[in-house]
Structure 1
Amino acid sequence: MSRFLPALNRAGRPGRRLARAVVATAAVAVVATALSACSGGSGSDAAAGSMTLEQKQKATSAADFGGMDALVAAANAEGKLNVITLPPSWANYGKIIAGFQAKYPEIQIDSQNPNGSSADEVAAAQSQKGQDTAPDVFDIGTAVLSQNLDLVTPYKVSNWGDIPDDFKDPNGSWYYDYTGLMSIGYDSSVITTPPTSVSDLLKPEYQGKVAIKGDPTQANEAASAVYWAALQSGGTADDITPGVDFFSKLKKSGNMLSVLPTQATVASGETPVVIQWSYNNLAWGPDGGSSGNPNWKTVVLPGVALGSYYNQAINVDAPHPAAARLWEEYLYSPEVQNLYLASGAYPSTLQAMMANGTVDQSVLKAVGEPPKNFVQLTKDQAAAAAQVLAAQWSAAIG
């Protein structure tokens, strides 16, 4: 079991030690040099410059551009990258985006709909197909991705071998990037006794106070709250109906809030209790500095822990296909994988970084290695769970 779990269970006190480690390490990581470049002279740059949009959209590796230098040149020529649903406080994306723009100043990032859902990513790709504003890349939940595989195209980053085989599509259509653990964040000035079980959230002191991150039929994080409630209530990854039943009780008790929680609603006290990924609850508390709630605590309940890796993928119709591929190369560099870790999110190449010595040991020590017994729904389980939510959620909380 990871040191991360008991650290969070103690009402977040060691989370402040984590915050100090996060700030110091992230600052170093952002200014560090990122990707090692493959050789690619003027000839390869010229070849990349002569590629058509369609050829760049079908490139499956940096080699198709003539090497990393040529990929950078092609991305610089495009001059833009559209990302979507990446709040700055989510998994260190504020620092990650800033680091990319510092490293590649000729590429302007347009960060669209930062508080949107995985379903919003799909809707944007579909409605803006062929337009310069369409998303170039996705950071997307498994259930939604599995229903929209026609929107993604294969690409393998240079350190493809560092991503475990079961963390990626063999053809490169998608690959895990990071996971947190489902947790309860709460305002300790309002909730004075930390919750120790999911049933605590049904108590009178939680009246009108518990929020989740949107509609579980649309947003992976909200759906994961239901999966987590199922596991905490005797259900399994193959049977999430106890989770739906729990939220039905939560709604009927008057304890469930119909407000979409954000860092601002936590800071203002509008959403005193939020069920969401641990890295988000950590970021919205003291770690958030002046934007955070100093009274915000994070608890990962005892028992079965729930994780869920998000997936990276490239839009098959990306308007800036070279910049999209350069972004993926950047995300899977050790520097950025360490930034994920610094936020409390476990990156997909963590085991490889631990083996080859590129992991930031001070951050790993503060966060702790990921628990070996956490549950993550498989692709098929996530698809089946999505069907249950589609059929039952609306009636359960109506």
Structure 2
Amino acid sequence: MATIPRRARLVAGIALAASAALALTSCAADSSAGTNSDGGGSSGDAATATSLADFASLSDLEAAAKEEGALNVIALPRDWANYGEILDLFAERYPEITINEASPDVSSAEEIQAAETNQGLDTAPDVFDLGLAVALENTDVFAPYKVESFDEIPDALKEPSGLFVGDYGGYMSIGYDSSKFDEPTSLDDLMGADFKGAVAINGDPTQAGAAFGAVGLAAVQSGGDLDDFQPGIDFFGELQQAGNFLKVDVTPATVTSGETPVVFDWDYLNAAAGADNENWQVVVLDGVGYASYYNQAINKDAPNPAAARLWQEFLYSDDVQNLWLKGGARPARMEAMTETGTIDADLAAALPEVPAETVVPTEEQSAAAGTLLGEKWAAAVQ
């Protein structure tokens, strides 16, 4: 199989109900972490730690991570969901820990391959950032860990033992150059002559998560549902026949240059892609919304197990949840932080408006849709 870039990683979602802020019910989860007799701190203890209690305190975890002195991350583009600022904040807060940023544009599957290839080496990734489909297929690679705020993460976004946990998500949206186009309010608008050769998706939907989501959105907006992606395939087939479908993979550079002036993508990526285009606008269509989350996981063979766990605690802190929000993504703890007043209200208010009804395909629905796309997509848009 050809390498799929990070921007096009396959995303299978977790079923959830959403409000305008993608609010989710937060439910308490079982906390069954053990405690090391010596309070943790050594690499051996860190590798088996399942919660902060195994280190006695956050300061003990920080000390153990500083002793390791490194954190290996993979597949974290700096322009993806504000990861650049997040990585820089970790480096500023923990200057004793060197962040090794490997292969920012590889796929979820390639993250797992990197762990297998580098197993036992100090170059192996400590942590992963994954689409759900890959996470579900590779739970034997992960170490269970419940961050201190685990109970504030909705049950629908986490594996109960903490093997993998949803971190940030968003809605399938349409980005467009407002100097050239009126705001599209429906899929039908994109069929007009004004959109000739202008409408792009992020990759091939048989391989790419954002493109898969675009077809999913088209399906649920065209009379289909998560069990029937055919209307979505039909929509893009008609878009191709109208001469409006642009077969160019989307990047911030293609948006800035105007090469891809209308783009289906996750709302936070569309927002980031328009950073250098003052006319770039993002809209989430009324009707049924289509959403998805990425997931965090720790490599069970992490060469820096304490740093891996410190990274997780860092990511689920109020500060970093708000940094994902700053990047236009909806953090997993958004509802809980809204209730406690720790959410950045201005950033939350700046999120694109979204429909009250939201759907996300289950693993089974994603698999069935993938099979259908494999059979029908190429012929529909040739």
TM-score of the aligned structures, taking structure 1 as reference length: 0.79
Report the equivalent of 2:41: 48
Answering whether residue 311 of structure 2 is matched by residue 327 of structure 1, we say yes
Report the equivalent of 1:215: 204
Distance 2:225 2:330 in 1: 23
Distance 2:71 2:208 in 1: 23
Residue 199 of structure 1 and its aligned partner are, at CA, apart by 2.9
The one-letter amino acid of 1:323's match is A
Report the equivalent of 1:277: 266
Answering whether residue 347 of structure 2 is matched by residue 358 of structure 1, we say no
Distance 2:103 2:199 in 1: 24
1:65-122 per-residue CA deviation (whole Å, 9 max, x = no partner) reads: 3432222122222222222232223222121111111111112222333334333333
Gaps of 5+ in 2: 1-17, 23-37
Report the equivalent of 1:268: 257
Report the equivalent of 2:122: 132
Residue 160 of structure 1 and its aligned partner are, at CA, apart by 0.9
CA contact (8 A) 2:287 2:357 kept: no
Flag the 1:246–1:79 CA change in 2: closer, same or farther, 3 A.
Answer: farther
Residue 358 of structure 1 and its aligned partner are, at CA, apart by 1.6
SS in 1 for 2:357: coil
1:321-361 per-residue CA deviation (whole Å, 9 max, x = no partner) reads: 22111111001011111122223322111111122222223
Flag the 1:371–1:253 CA change in 2: closer, same or farther, 3 A.
Answer: closer
Q: 1:312 aligns with which of 293, 296, 302?
A: 296
Flag the 1:148–1:3 CA change in 2: closer, same or farther, 3 A.
Answer: closer
Q: 2:182 aligns with which of 193, 212, 230?
A: 193
Between 364-373 and 176-185, report the one with greater CA deviation. 364-373
Report the equivalent of 1:30: none
Residue 281 of structure 1 and its aligned partner are, at CA, apart by 1.4
Answering whether residue 154 of structure 2 is matched by residue 164 of structure 1, we say yes
Within-5 A mapping of 1:148-163 = 148-163=138-153
CA contact (8 A) 2:19 2:357 kept: no
Distance 1:129 1:216 in 2: 31
The one-letter amino acid of 2:308's match is A
CA contact (8 A) 1:117 1:220 kept: no
Gaps of 5+ in 1: 6-42
Residue 273 of structure 1 and its aligned partner are, at CA, apart by 1.6
CA contact (8 A) 1:213 1:221 kept: yes
User: Cα RMSD between the aligned structures?
Assistant: 2.7
Between 208-217 and 178-187, report the one with greater CA deviation. 208-217
Answering whether residue 91 of structure 2 is matched by residue 101 of structure 1, we say yes
The one-letter amino acid of 1:297's match is Q
Flag the 1:316–1:388 CA change in 2: closer, same or farther, 3 A.
Answer: farther
CA contact (8 A) 2:75 2:129 kept: yes
Report the equivalent of 1:295: 279
- State, as a whole percentage, how many aligned pairs show the same letter: 52
Report the equivalent of 1:388: 372
The one-letter amino acid of 2:94's match is Y
Distance 2:90 2:75 in 1: 17
Distance 1:390 1:250 in 2: 19
The one-letter amino acid of 2:317's match is S
Distance 2:204 2:113 in 1: 15
Residue 147 of structure 1 and its aligned partner are, at CA, apart by 2.6
Residue 230 of structure 1 and its aligned partner are, at CA, apart by 1.0
Between 349-358 and 376-385, report the one with greater CA deviation. 376-385
Higher helix share: 1
Between 137-146 and 261-270, report the one with greater CA deviation. 137-146
TM-score of the aligned structures, taking structure 2 as reference length: 0.83
Flag the 1:369–1:194 CA change in 2: closer, same or farther, 3 A.
Answer: closer
Report the equivalent of 1:344: 328
Distance 1:202 1:116 in 2: 33
CA contact (8 A) 2:52 2:148 kept: yes
Answering whether residue 50 of structure 2 is matched by residue 60 of structure 1, we say yes
Within-5 A mapping of 1:9-158 = 44=39, 47-49=40-42, 51-52=43-44, 55-158=45-148
